[in-house]
Amino acid sequence: MSTLDLEHLRQWIGKEEISTDQMALRHARLMSATLGLSQDDMQEGMPLPALWHWIYFLDGQPPEALGRDGHPALGGFLPPVPLPNRMWAGGSVTFNAQVPLGSSVDKRSRIQSVEHKRGRSGELVFVTVLHEILHEGKVAISETHDIVYKQASGVPKTVTPMQMPVPTHSKRVQPDSTMLMRYSALTFNGHRIHYDVDYCRNVEGYPNLVIHGPLCATLLAGFAHEVGGRPIRQFRYRGVQPSLLGAELSVNAAKGVDGSDLTMWIGLPDGGVSMRAEVQLQ
């Protein structure tokens, strides 16, 4: 990528958009069903579970406004990065206050940075977006979201080496195609790597459907609340390598000395790590 191209992409820095949505109880109950949780536990006025704000503020583009991968075509709010594969790289979410189910909430998004790097798979462009979720005029959730654009390369052929601590808590989760379909529907995510296996194999180089990065992060956040017994203050996560349909995932947590911090990760059957997170509890 030339310097001139990068300079063009950086013209999107500072671009901002604002939207409003209602934290609908019905949508939260459908999310509970997707994750195998009790829908009756979702009641009007209760706090929205951590990272469930991702199922709201949905952007519905018509078919002619979509690219070949099912994402909105290049341009618009996000810069028109001319690389074919787009993935969630990671981010950091700070929870300042509760967001009640049923409430009307604003979301303010701004492009913070556009960076170019070269990795083992070739050219990489990282776009960082700041999202602020405002309830009653105050920032309840502040999130920096890193998106990576890359050349088509598929899944790493070797296990990504990563030394993790001995888990103090673990559970097994086996996402199936129904879970992936439901999560795509709940987030209005048209990215074909989550439902079109021929596209996965023939275009983007994955041997099977890819489990959503946000879904993996949501599983980690839910487990953090379960084992920590307290709400999350900060959740920092990073995708390491994709997890694919058919793999049984291990959701792991290792408590810090005082119990207020957790190191968490999604483990793969071959011993690799798909996603890791550092969690600070309130």
Number of domains in the chain: 1
Residue 57's domain comprises: 3-281
Comparing CA positions, the residue from 172, 188, 178 lying closest to residue 223 is: 172
Q: What gap in Å lies between CA 102 and CA 117, rounded to an integer? A: 42
pTM score:
0.92
Q: What is the pLDDT of residue 225?
A: 94
Tell me the sheet residues that pair with 221.
none
The dihedral formed by the CA atoms of 184, 39, 178 and 194, expressed in degrees to the nearest 10: 20
Question: Is the Cα dihedral 95, 96, 99, 104 positive or negative?
Answer: negative
Contact 127, 79 (CB under 8 A): yes
In the chain, beta strands by DSSP E? 16-22, 85-95, 104-119, 122-135, 138-150, 169-173, 232-239, 249-255, 261-267, 273-281
Q: What gap in Å lies between CA 61 and CA 56, rounded to an integer? A: 15
| Residue-by-residue pLDDT tens, the chain, 282 positions | 444 488 889 999 999 999 999 999 999 999 999 999 999 989 999 999 999 999 999 988 888 888 788 877 766 788 988 887 788 889 999 999 999 999 999 999 999 999 998 877 678 899 999 999 999 999 999 999 999 988 776 555 555 568 899 999 999 999 999 999 999 999 999 999 999 999 999 988 889 999 999 999 999 999 999 999 899 999 999 999 999 999 999 999 998 877 679 999 999 998 999 999 999 998
Sheet with 122-135, strands from edge to edge, namely 16-22, 104-119, 122-135, 138-150, 85-95, 232-239, 273-281, 261-267, 249-255, 169-173
Q: What is the CATH number of the domain that holds 68?
A: 3.10.129.10
